[in-house]
């Protein structure tokens, strides 16, 4: 039994390492999204850090409410994609080390 505990502890440590490596890859994965007219563009990393926001100068004629709505829409699309990438990346990292236990990825 004690051997099983040590084996589990080793697997958990390896899982933490795999997740840390996966998170490092997320920081390097860039996502770019644009508004339907292409005049607002955002670039974020899959770890949800904003790297660039571009707003075409011709949009400055619109009121702040319009601009903030368009920007919010594009950012939300990018964040949704980042969330999906995060979930699949962490799940893949854990599956390499631990059996498929639902919800286990929430602990790392």
Domains of the chain listed by start with CATH number: 14-98 (3.30.1310.10)
Residue 108, pLDDT above cutoff 60: no
pLDDT, residue 26, reads: 94
pLDDT in the model for residue 50:
97
**Dihedral angle computed from the Cα positions of residues 31, 32, 35 and 40, in that order, rounded to the nearest 10 degrees:** 130
Query: What pLDDT sits at residue 6?
Result: 65
63, pLDDT greater than 90:
yes
Write phi, then psi, for 33 (nearest 5 degrees).
Answer: -130, 150
94 CB neighbour count, 10 Å cutoff? 22
- Distance between CA atoms of residues 78 and 20, nearest Å: 22
**Chain segment 40-59, per-residue pLDDT in tens:** 999 999 999 999 999 999 99
pTM for this entry = 0.76
Dihedral angle over CA of 79, 80, 82, 84, nearest 10: 160
């Amino acid at each position: 039994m004690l051997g099983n505990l040590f084996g589990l502890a080793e697997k958990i440590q390896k899982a933490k390492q795999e997740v840390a490596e996966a998170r490092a890859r997320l920081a390097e994965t860039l996502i770019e999204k644009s508004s339907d007219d292409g005049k607002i563009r955002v670039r974020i990393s899959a770890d949800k850090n904003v790297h660039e926001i571009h707003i075409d100068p011709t949009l400055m004629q619109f009121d702040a409410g319009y601009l903030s709505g368009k920007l919010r829409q594009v950012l939300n699309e990018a964040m949704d994609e980042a969330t999906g990438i995060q979930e699949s990346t962490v799940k893949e990292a854990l599956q390499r080390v631990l059996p498929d236990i639902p919800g286990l990825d929430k602990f790392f």
